């Protein structure tokens, strides 16, 4: 009711097992807990918590302005309401190797199933923008080693994201990925790949699970689940899809309200009270207090 039925440990084991079975896992982004509930009800494989979406929800650009406390709080709120495993975007780890160690321990303590750390400088930018600045591979290796060393649950997944393809080229990005795997990364997230041959080259060279980012309006074509499976990828994330859908619907609806002076014509576009209460598991609270759910819709 208030929390998921499965423990964090159970969700981590399920994620590990699911990744190992060769099937592509589809993990849409949830920028809020209720979106996580929708993702679960629709039968997706997991939940992705995007740093870009959390920044945007705070009306901030994705340039490393969010704090560890802001991200961990939202991550915990989202992870607790679903039995699906949740992977969270740790950006650059919120600092150097020691900061990364704390970041990983916080995420593990708060019920997440894994996180990814990227090899940009702290004032990072969206992976699909130009002129990104990378840290030296040795710095990222230190961060990955710190993350791996401090985790208590070996099933908590440490994923390494590399943004090197757009900065240093495909070969350099693969070399970085290999170094990150040697440092202990459980999976690799090669950001902003474009051509099928780039996906296939990464799969041929990297032996751990691979994550594909199907963000809209970026440098990557929006490949289908079937295509990504053929590339040999293990996870597909859709980080800002739910936020973009929600914002567009809100903007269109409120414009109509402003123009027409009434919300009557847009009611059919809204989620009903009945559906909202179903997502909230409202009726379950009646088990504890008969005064909480003693009405009919």
Q: Which of 74, 116, 176, 244 is catalytic?
A: 116
Phi then psi for 118, rounded to 5 degrees? -110, 165
Q: Which of 108, 119, 191, 198 is catalytic?
A: 191
Q: Which of 128, 161, 176, 244 is catalytic?
A: 161
Please confirm, yes or no, whether 286 is among the known catalytic residues: no
- The answer to whether 137 touches 183, Cβ cutoff 8 Å, is no
Q: Across the strands, what pairs with 235? A: 25, 211
d(CA 35, CA 183): 34
Please confirm, yes or no, whether 234 is among the known catalytic residues: no
Please confirm, yes or no, whether 191 is among the known catalytic residues: yes
Separation in Å, CA 101 to CA 95, 113, 144, 161? 10, 16, 9, 17
Please confirm, yes or no, whether 91 is among the known catalytic residues: yes
Q: Which of 62, 106, 163, 198 is catalytic?
A: 62
Please confirm, yes or no, whether 89 is among the known catalytic residues: yes
Q: Which of 16, 125, 213, 238 is catalytic?
A: 213
Phi-psi region of 94 (alpha: psi -120 to 50; beta: other; left: phi over 0): left
Count CB neighbours of 278 within 10 A. 13
- Alpha-carbon Rg for the chain, nearest whole angstrom, is 20
Q: Which of 14, 16, 45, 48 is catalytic?
A: 48
Please confirm, yes or no, whether 216 is among the known catalytic residues: no
Please confirm, yes or no, whether 126 is among the known catalytic residues: yes
Q: Which of 89, 108, 119, 163 is catalytic?
A: 89
Q: Which of 45, 91, 163, 198 is catalytic?
A: 91
Query: Helix, strand, or coil here: 158?
Result: strand
Please confirm, yes or no, whether 161 is among the known catalytic residues: yes
Give the DSSP per-residue string, 46-102.
Answer: -EEE-HHHHHHHTT--SSS-S-HHHHHHHHHHHHTT-SS-EEEE-TT-SSSHHHHHH
- The answer to whether 83 touches 45, Cβ cutoff 8 Å, is no
Residues annotated as catalytic (active site), given as ranges: 48, 62, 89, 91, 116, 118, 126, 161, 191, 213
């Amino acid at each position: 009711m208030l929390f998921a039925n499965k423990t964090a440990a159970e969700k981590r084991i399920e994620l590990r097992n699911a990744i190992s079975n060769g099937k592509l896992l589809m993990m849409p982004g949830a920028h809020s807990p209720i979106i996580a509930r929708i993702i679960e009800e629709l039968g997706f494989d997991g939940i992705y918590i995007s740093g870009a979406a959390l920044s945007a929800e705070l009306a901030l650009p994705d340039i490393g302005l969010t704090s560890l406390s802001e991200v961990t709080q939202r991550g915990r709120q989202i992870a607790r309401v679903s039995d699906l495993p949740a992977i969270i975007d740790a950006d650059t780890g919120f600092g150097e190797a020691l900061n990364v160690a704390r970041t990983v321990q916080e995420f593990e303590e708060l019920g997440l199933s894994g996180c990814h750390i990227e090899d940009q400088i702290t004032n990072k930018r969206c992976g699909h923008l130009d002129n990104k600045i990378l840290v030296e591979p040795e710095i990222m290796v230190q961060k990955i080693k710190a993350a791996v060393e401090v985790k208590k649950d070996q099933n908590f997944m440490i994923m390494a994201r590399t943004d090197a393809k757009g900065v240093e080229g495909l070969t350099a990005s693969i070399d970085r990925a290999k170094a990150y795997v040697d440092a202990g990364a459980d999976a690799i997230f090669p950001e902003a790949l474009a051509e099928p041959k780039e996906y296939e080259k990464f799969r041929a060279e990297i032996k751990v699970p691979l994550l594909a980012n199907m963000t809209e309006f970026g440098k990557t074509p929006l490949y289908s689940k079937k295509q990504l499976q053929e590339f040999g990828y293990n996870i597909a994330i859709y980080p800002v899809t739910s936020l973009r859908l929600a914002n567009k619907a809100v903007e269109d609806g409120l414009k109509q309200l402003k123009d027409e002076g009434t919300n009557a014509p847009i009611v059919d576009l809204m989620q009903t009270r009945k559906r909202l209460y179903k997502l909230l598991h409202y009726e379950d609270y009646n088990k504890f207090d008969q005064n909480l759910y003693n009405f009919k819709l």
